[in-house]
Amino acid sequence: NAGVTQTPKFRILKIGQSMTLQCTQDMNHNYMYWYRQDPGMGLKLIYYSVGAGITDKGEVPNGYNVSRSTTEDFPLRLELAAPSQTSVYFCASTGDMNTEAFFGQGTRLTVV
Amino acid sequence: LAKTTQPISMDSYEGQEVNITCSHNNIATNDYITWYQQFPSQGPRFIIQGYKTKVTNEVASLFIPADRKSSTLSLPRVSLSDTAVYYCLVVSLTDSWGKLQFGAGTQVVVTP
């Protein structure tokens, strides 16, 4: 049982480049989330999804886009990378709101 | 979404009990209280969840008074490996349905 898998684990981007952070889960969870975590800070919710085809903004959505075409996958897209997007990104999923959420191992992104 | 307030940091010695109190004054009737633990360079991990009174598992206990405006996570006889950030979340099944938002958390440092 793989749980929540994020790829890549590390990435260095140049300013203005674009990339997609991949997240997939094999638990048939409806709810999926993307967070960013800056050094020494808590997690900030970027986007979330309550099911395939449904996404909504979190606290810090600017500069990011998401899609949810399947239950398993929830990719996060950065179109024009900026140094302010240097952070660790975590994807998570949960089957129901009152059950535990499972997190991926994170993607460490540096924009230079 | 109910706002949570918890101490920024707490220090403890090995073998002691650590109690972290979280305030959530505007918690709604259908909201649950959930705690997560995060080690450096890892995603958060679910510890415990409760609705009212007391919940205990192999890791921790969660005490919730009758008014539910606060909750206390109790870690018995901590060890060095309990050094982590602990997050208190209020999970709403009605308002802001689907959102899972983290605050700043409490950094717990356990020393020998």
Per domain, the residue ranges of chain A are 4-102
CA B55 from chain center: how many Å?
Answer: 12
Q: Which of 2.40.50.100, 3.30.1330.10, 2.60.40.10, 2.60.40.2580 is the CATH number of B9-111? A: 2.60.40.10
Nearest by CB: B98 against A43, A97, A98: A97
Domain A4-102 in CATH 2.60.40.10? The answer is: yes
Chain B residue at shortest CA distance from A91: B43
Give the per-residue pLDDT at A98.
66
Q: What is the dihedral of CA A51, A53, A56, A58, to 10 degrees?
A: 60
Q: Residue B80: CB partners within 8 Å, gap ≥ 6? A: B14, B110, B111, B112
For residue B60, give how far its alpha carbon lies from the nearest alpha carbon of chain A (Å): 15
Tell the burial category of B66 from Cβ atoms under 10 Å away from its Cβ (0-12, 13-18, 19+): exposed
Reference B85, options B73, B68, B100, B70; nearest CA is B73
pLDDT of A67-82, one tens digit each? Answer: 999 999 999 999 999 9
Task: Tell me the pLDDT of chain A averaged across its residues.
Answer: 94
Straight-line distance from the first to the last Cα atom of chain A, in angstroms, rounded to the nearest whole number: 36
ω into A8 cis (within 30 of 0): yes
pLDDT at A97: 66
3-state DSSP percent of chain A in helix, strand and coil, to 5: 5, 50, 45
- Checking if the pLDDT of B107 tops 70, the result is yes
Domain residue spans in chain B?
9-111
Subunit contact A33:B100, Cβ cutoff 8 A: yes
- Give the span between the Cα atoms of B17 and B76, in whole angstroms: 5
| pLDDT tens for each residue of A2-19 | 899 999 999 999 999 999
Using a CB–CB cut-off of 8 Å, the residues of B that contact A are 32, 34, 36, 41-46, 49, 85, 87, 91-93, 97-105
Mean pLDDT calculated for residue range A73-93? 97
* Tens-place pLDDT, residues B54-106: 999 999 999 999 999 999 999 999 999 999 999 999 988 765 566 888 888 99
**φ, ψ at A108 (rounded to 5°):** -90, 115
pLDDT value at residue B35: 96
Q: Residue B100's pLDDT is what?
A: 86
